[in-house]
Amino acid sequence: MELNPLDTEQIGIQTLEKSLIKSSSSRSLKIGLPKEISNDERRVSLTPGGVSTLVANGHEVSIEKNAGIDGHFSDQEYSEAGAEIAYSAEELFNQSELLVKVAPPTLSEQEWMQPNQILVSALHLGHTKYEFLKTLIEKGVCAIGYEFIKGQDGEFPIVRMMHEITGSMAVQIATHYLENNSNGQGIMLGGISGVPPSTVVILGAGITGEYAARTALGYGAQVFVMDNNLAALRRLENALDRRIVTATANHHYLTKAMGFADVVIGAALTEGERAPCWVNEEMVQMMKPGSVIVDAVIDQGGCIATSEATTHSNPVFRKYDVVHYCVPNIPSNVARTATHALNNVLVPYLLELGDAATIQECLWENSALRNGTYIYKKHLTKKSLANLFEIPYREIEMLIASQI
């Protein structure tokens, strides 16, 4: 096979799928991939290559017609990979044992869900409603959330992938809204000879913040990163060879930073919880006219007081003459890249679900999927969700061990 070094479909993706081409699968799962219908969601969870791997291991995959169209994956590609094309979302939900989605099920999709189905999807903690959890609990769905899947290395692999994309995209987006065509300040992010660069303030030194900082530095911007975790700030300083300025995210430093920032990237986040609100309304009022806020954690509630969720079709609003970009699912605007990233993480987990004789056995043996489970056997299993909605929960290890 002739290799094109400029091909955006990285060789690693193909290698991963080939290395997983056959496992000792002990049961055949009926896996359903619905077309996403919420919040301008353009991603799909599996590529045709991922489907091919699952089918090669004896699983049946059904995908709703045109589910991959926004990622430029055709129905023909999925069909050639061994998937059945479903022409009705309701039919797909009714016949699937395992549903793999990007966004949480909508109200209509929740109605179609069946007892004992397995749902693997994002939860979007900032927008989770009590009624959603109540419906899944009453239906007896086993729900696994992307935000909670945590490997033995302590990393959240799906969250990390999406945060890498989000951090890089956030700066790219901000650059666009600084331009005159977007009624911005009319400035470049990076400076030129004799003209100083723009200032980018990044709230949060996690993965999103790191990739935002890397991208902003690549543009030539002056980069400030703020966090209350000194260890995270030190790690990022070392990783970026001290090319950034760091500060604790207290009221004094936040107030000063908002006053001189051209761009603010909101990336403050604690995994599995709602985002903390670090910037109040008065701080936003101090910002320069035409400056830009990209709240990259709006799907977890946002970390800036003036943020309100927007959509890809209507992405920005102005408040205090500051442009706010608050789209919850930034990676869906690069749907093909994001789908490949999701596929690479999800396929091994789906194979493990198939290798186990039962979901109970799989969750007992696989700590990542066990950590990811937030509803099991009609019980909420996450303390953070229980505290948020003031409802009882049970530890999943106890539920599995007691064989309820």
Q: Which residues are known catalytic residues? A: 124, 299
Which 3 state secondary structure label does DSSP give 202?
Answer: strand
Q: Which two tokens stand for residue 400?
A: 């599995």
- Amino acid letter, residue 258: M
Provide the total of helices (H) and of strands (E) in the chain, helices listed first. 16, 15
Cα–Cα distance measured from residue 61 to residue 84, given in angstroms and rounded to the nearest whole number: 6
For residue 137, what are the CA distances in angstroms to 116, 123, 192?
10, 14, 57
Which 3 state secondary structure label does DSSP give 175?
Answer: helix
Residues pairing with 130 in the sheet: none
Which 3 state secondary structure label does DSSP give 257?
Answer: helix
Phi, psi angle pair for 331, to nearest 5° = -60, -20
Of 176, 163, 241, which Cα lies nearest the Cα of 202?
163
Which 3 state secondary structure label does DSSP give 400?
Answer: helix
Which 3 state secondary structure label does DSSP give 305?
Answer: coil
Cα–Cα distance measured from residue 381 to residue 339, given in angstroms and rounded to the nearest whole number: 28
Cα–Cα distance measured from residue 223 to residue 217, given in angstroms and rounded to the nearest whole number: 7
Contact 346, 339 (CB under 8 A): no
Cα–Cα distance measured from residue 178 to residue 173, given in angstroms and rounded to the nearest whole number: 9
Cα–Cα distance measured from residue 272 to residue 159, given in angstroms and rounded to the nearest whole number: 10
> Which residue's structure tokens are 């990233």?
341
Edge-to-edge strands, sheet with 60-64: 84-86, 60-64, 30-33, 98-100, 118-121, 142-145, 373-376, 379-380
Task: For residue 235, give the H/E element and its range.
Answer: helix 230-239
Question: Around Cβ 195, how many Cβ atoms within 10 Å?
Answer: 9
Buried b (16+ CB within 10 A) or exposed e, 153-188: eeebbbbbbbbbbbbbbbbbbbbebbeeeeebbebb
